[in-house]
């Protein structure tokens, strides 16, 4: 049952999750959609598995990691992912957690934010959106949970540049932060595509972002927006 809008099937997904129920459920869900899933239960195993896969020259297309895992149940997943990113900067990672911690998001986004995602576990309820987000991360997009975004926005209010944005522009920026394309933003805000483009251009100008690769500029805008 793959439609034309579905993300590329047959991603090699490496999943790190300690809860057996979720791990098995997620693996089954992704497998049914034609992806190949390797699952591990903690941060150390995750790093070892990546090392093994890289040696075998079958680097995963995307890593999905729970943040809180054994042995200390604090931020093992995040630490494992950060250490992986320092060794393999182009390895797309999606953090997956029951809580939103802006501190975690800041640490995750402090480096190169391309191919990085941070979603609440609740998002798997909308299976299509979730799988879609996974596909976008694997292609190098930044995907942040709306919850993460609103929390980060709460902490990023003091920025002068942000003050110059209009309410609509902030709304657009919030959706960009979630990794939405202009088309998707237009659809969600019931605007015309052109109006969204205008808003995006205004955002770039107001935030003094240089005119080079447009995609990268989007990420920069989002990061500025998040105060990272």
Partner 1 sequence: MTVEPRAAGPAARGSTARPHPRFLTAPFASRTWREQGYLALMLLLAPFAFAYAVFTVSLTAVVAVTVVGLFVSGTVLLGARGWGGTYRGLARNLLDVDLPVPASWTRPRGFWRTLGSLLGDATAWRALLFMFVTFPLTLLSFVTSVTFLVVGLGAITYGIWYRFLPPQLGTDGEMHVGAQFGLSYYVDTPPRIALAALAGLLVFFCWPWLLRMFTLLFRVLTVALLSPTRASLRVAELERSRTGAVDDADARLRSIERDLHDGTQARLVAVAMQLGEAREHLADGGDVAQAAELLDTAHTSTKDALTELRELARGIHPPALDSGLTVALETLAARSALPVTVDVDRAVEAGGRLAPALESIAYFTVAELVTNAAKHARATGVWVLVEPLDAARAESAHAGSPRAGSAGAGGNAVRIRVRDDGRGGARVVLPDGSGLRSGLAGLAERVRSVDGTFDLSSPAGGPTVVTVILPTTTPSGRA
CB 168 within 8 A of CB 132: no
Closer Cβ to partner 1, 25 or 89, answer by number: 25
Closer Cβ to partner 1, 19 or 36, answer by number: 19
Going by the DSSP 8-state scheme, the letter that residue 56 receives in this structure is: T
Contact status: 5 vs partner 1 (CB under 8 A):
no
CB 151 within 8 A of CB 56: no
Q: How far is CA 146 from CA 90, 102, 177, in A?
A: 24, 12, 8
Contact status: 122 vs partner 1 (CB under 8 A):
yes
Contact status: 101 vs partner 1 (CB under 8 A):
no
Size of residue set near partner 1 by CB under 8 A = 20
- For residue 63, the cross-strand partners are 14, 93
The minimum distance between CB 184 and partner 1, in angstroms, equals 19
CA 2 to chain centre: 23
Q: How far is CA 73 from CA 21, 46, 95, 104, in A?
A: 17, 15, 15, 14
Stretch that binds partner 1, among 49-57, 75-83, 116-124, 214-222 (CB under 8 A): 116-124
Contact status: 74 vs partner 1 (CB under 8 A):
no
Stretch that binds partner 1, among 51-59, 79-87, 123-131, 166-174 (CB under 8 A): 123-131
47: phi then psi, degrees, rounded to nearest 5: -65, -40
Q: What contacts 195, CB < 8 A, 6 or more positions away?
A: 186
Contact status: 22 vs partner 1 (CB under 8 A):
yes
Residue 203 CB neighbours (<10 A): 25
Closer Cβ to partner 1, 132 or 159, answer by number: 132
Stretch that binds partner 1, among 16-24, 81-89, 154-162, 186-194 (CB under 8 A): 16-24
Closer Cβ to partner 1, 26 or 176, answer by number: 26
The minimum distance between CB 135 and partner 1, in angstroms, equals 15
Q: How far is CA 201 from CA 107, 156, 182, 217, in A?
A: 28, 21, 11, 10
The minimum distance between CB 77 and partner 1, in angstroms, equals 13
The minimum distance between CB 55 and partner 1, in angstroms, equals 32
Contacting residues toward partner 1, per CB under 8 A? 1, 3, 18-19, 21-22, 25-26, 29, 32, 68, 73, 98, 121-122, 124-128
């Amino acid at each position: 049952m793959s439609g034309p809008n579905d993300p590329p099937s047959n991603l090699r997904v490496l999943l790190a999750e300690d809860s057996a129920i979720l791990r098995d459920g997620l693996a089954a869900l992704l497998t049914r959609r034609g992806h190949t899933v390797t699952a591990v239960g903690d941060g150390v195993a995750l790093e070892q598995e990546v090392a093994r896969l890289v040696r075998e020259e079958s680097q995963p297309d995307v890593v999905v990691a729970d943040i809180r895992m054994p042995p200390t149940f604090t931020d093992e997943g995040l630490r494992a992912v950060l250490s992986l990113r320092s060794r393999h900067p182009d390895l797309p990672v999606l953090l997956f957690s029951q809580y939103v911690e802006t501190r975690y998001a800041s640490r995750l986004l402090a480096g190169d934010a391309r191919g990085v995602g941070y979603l609440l576990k609740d998002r798997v309820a909308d299976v299509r959106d979730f799988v879609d987000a996974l596909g976008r991360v694997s292609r190098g997009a930044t995907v942040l949970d709306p919850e993460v975004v609103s929390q980060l926005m709460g902490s990023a209010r003091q920025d002068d540049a942000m003050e110059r944005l209009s309410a609509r522009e902030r709304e657009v920026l919030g959706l960009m932060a979630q990794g939405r394309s202009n088309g998707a933003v237009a659809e969600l805000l019931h605007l015309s595509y052109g109006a969204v483009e205008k808003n995006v251009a205004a955002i770039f100008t107001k935030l003094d972002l240089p005119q080079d690769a447009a995609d990268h500029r989007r990420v920069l805008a989002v990061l500025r927006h998040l105060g990272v």
